[in-house]
Structure 1
Amino acid sequence: MIIDTLANADKYLSVHPLFAPAFEYLKSVDLEAIEDGKYEVSEGLKSIVATKIGMTAQESEAKFECHNNNIDIQVCIKGNETFGWKSRNDCKSQKGEYNPEKDVLFFNDEPSMHFTLNGGEFVIFFPEDVHAPMIGEDEIKKMVIKVKK
Structure 2
Amino acid sequence: MMNQFLIFMAIVALNQAQPFHIPLPLGAGIDVNKQPDGQTQVSLGQNVNILGFGGNRNLTFSGGNGTFSTQTDGNLLVNGTKIGGGSTIGADKNKGVTLDNDVNLGNKTIQGGVGKEGNFITQLIDAIKEETQKNKAKKTNA
TM-score, scaled relative to structure 1 = 0.28
- Structure in which a larger fraction of residues adopt helix: 2
The higher relative CO (CA closer than 8 Å, separation ≥ 6) is in 1
